[in-house]
């Protein structure tokens, strides 16, 4: 029986200084990829990835293209060695990597888009006014009820449905702090503040979604060779023409990652390969569907 592989691409937070250097040193095609990214952005992303400083790499507008370039470099090395997945998905930013891998989105367009996306997200909310927290061990319906209970006229909502034991919430910093206190005092589970620069995937980022829509209007999406799961619907993008609207919605909508992975399993995927920096998505799949074989690749394939 043939193994059915879903390839997944990581999102922001997986970046590390030095990532991709071994790929670059070993492969001329990867060198060309980083050069194209540098030319597209107009600054030395390669130097930033390989040498840092970490504080600069961590900035949303830099981290997003850095992760995308590393992910696509790893993907292309893997494809040349015979990788044949049946389905693709990416967590938040990673959806752009998945669309490039599928052939639906050009690499240069993607680098430019995620750089703009990162800047738009950063500029949408004043520093310190929004935050995010991971809520662990609390059922989905209880997290949703808590957000509705505390939100009032403000913003507090689930941002990432990552796996059965982890849901990330986002919104106004004071409301996120209150939610963390309630989780603790009611002994519902555990809440951990996340070190992020903006409250991603909530209504506070509507200005970023509006600016991104203008950037996406300049891009042409093509038919894909491999289906890509949407973060918004947890099912495949239906047509190339629908991609832009789903990417606009994705800015403020929750990432339905657990549902997307369950969809992949229901379609017969019995193996997951995380392509790019880190192993966070592989870990999530172990908690979503322990029977699925998982592997992460982020370095040169021999």
Catalytic residues: 92, 201
Token pair in block for residue 68: 């995308």
Nearest-angstrom CA–CA distance, 145 and 150: 9
Structural Rg of the chain based on CA atoms: 18
Q: Is residue 83 within 8 Å of 273, Cβ to Cβ?
A: yes
Burial 229-255 (b: 16+ CB within 10 A, else e): bbbbbbebbeeeeebbebbbebbbbbb
CB burial class (10 A; 0-12, 13-18, 19+) of residue 48? buried
Closest by CA position to 94, among listed 114, 79, 77: 114
């Amino acid at each position: 029986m043939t193994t059915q592989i879903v390839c997944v691409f990581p999102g922001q937070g997986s970046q590390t200084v030095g990532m991709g250097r071994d790929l670059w040193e070993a492969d001329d095609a990867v060198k060309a990829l980083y050069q194209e990214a540098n030319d597209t952005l107009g600054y030395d992303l390669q130097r930033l990835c390989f040498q840092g400083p970490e504080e600069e790499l961590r900035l949303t507008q830099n981290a997003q293209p850095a992760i995308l370039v590393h992910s696509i470099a790893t993907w292309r090395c893997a494809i040349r060695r015979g990788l044949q997945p049946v389905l693709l998905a990416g967590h938040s930013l990673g959806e752009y990597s998945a669309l490039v891998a599928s052939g639906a989105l050009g690499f240069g367009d993607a680098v430019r888009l995620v750089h703009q996306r990162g800047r738009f997200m950063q500029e949408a909310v004043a520093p310190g006014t929004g935050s995010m927290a991971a809520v662990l061990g609390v059922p989905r319906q209880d997290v949703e009820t808590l957000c509705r209970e505390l939100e009032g006229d403000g913003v507090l909502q689930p941002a990432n449905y990552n796996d059965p034991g982890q849901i990330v919430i986002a919104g106004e910093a004071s409301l996120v702090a209150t939610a963390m206190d309630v989780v603790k005092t009611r002994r519902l589970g555990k809440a951990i503040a996340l070190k992020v620069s903006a409250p991603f995937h909530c209504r506070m980022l509507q200005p970023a979604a509006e600016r991104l829509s203008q950037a996406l209007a300049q891009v042409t999406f093509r038919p894909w060779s491999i289906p890509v799961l949407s973060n918004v619907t947890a099912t495949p993008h239906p047509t190339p023409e629908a991609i832009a609207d789903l990417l606009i919605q994705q800015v403020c909508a929750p990432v339905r990652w657990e549902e997307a992975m369950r969809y992949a399993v229901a379609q017969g995927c019995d193996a997951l390969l995380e392509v790019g920096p880190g192993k966070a998505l592989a870990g999530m799949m172990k908690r979503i569907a322990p029977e699925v074989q998982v592997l992460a690749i982020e370095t040169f394939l021999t």
